[in-house]
Amino acid sequence: MFYVYILRSRRTGRFYVGHTDDVAQRLVEHN
């Protein structure tokens, strides 16, 4: 199953939109 996500940078306020089938791994990659 794929998930669509929207993340917001606390530092810049910028939004990042993407999709993944491994939410935990994708969060690690973004941080």
Find residue 2's DSSP bridge partners. none
Q: What is the C-alpha R_g of the chain?
A: 10
pLDDT digits (tens, 9 = 90+) for 8-22: 999 999 999 999 999
Share of the chain above pLDDT 90, in %: 65
Q: Where does the pLDDT of residue 29 fall: very low under 50, low under 70, confident under 90, or very high at 90 and above?
A: confident
What is the structure's pLDDT at 23? 86
Q: Which residues of 11-30 are buried (b: 16+ CB within 10 A; e: fewer)?
A: eeeeeeeeeeeeeeebeeee
pTM of the model: 0.57
CA atoms within 13 A on the CB side of 30: 19
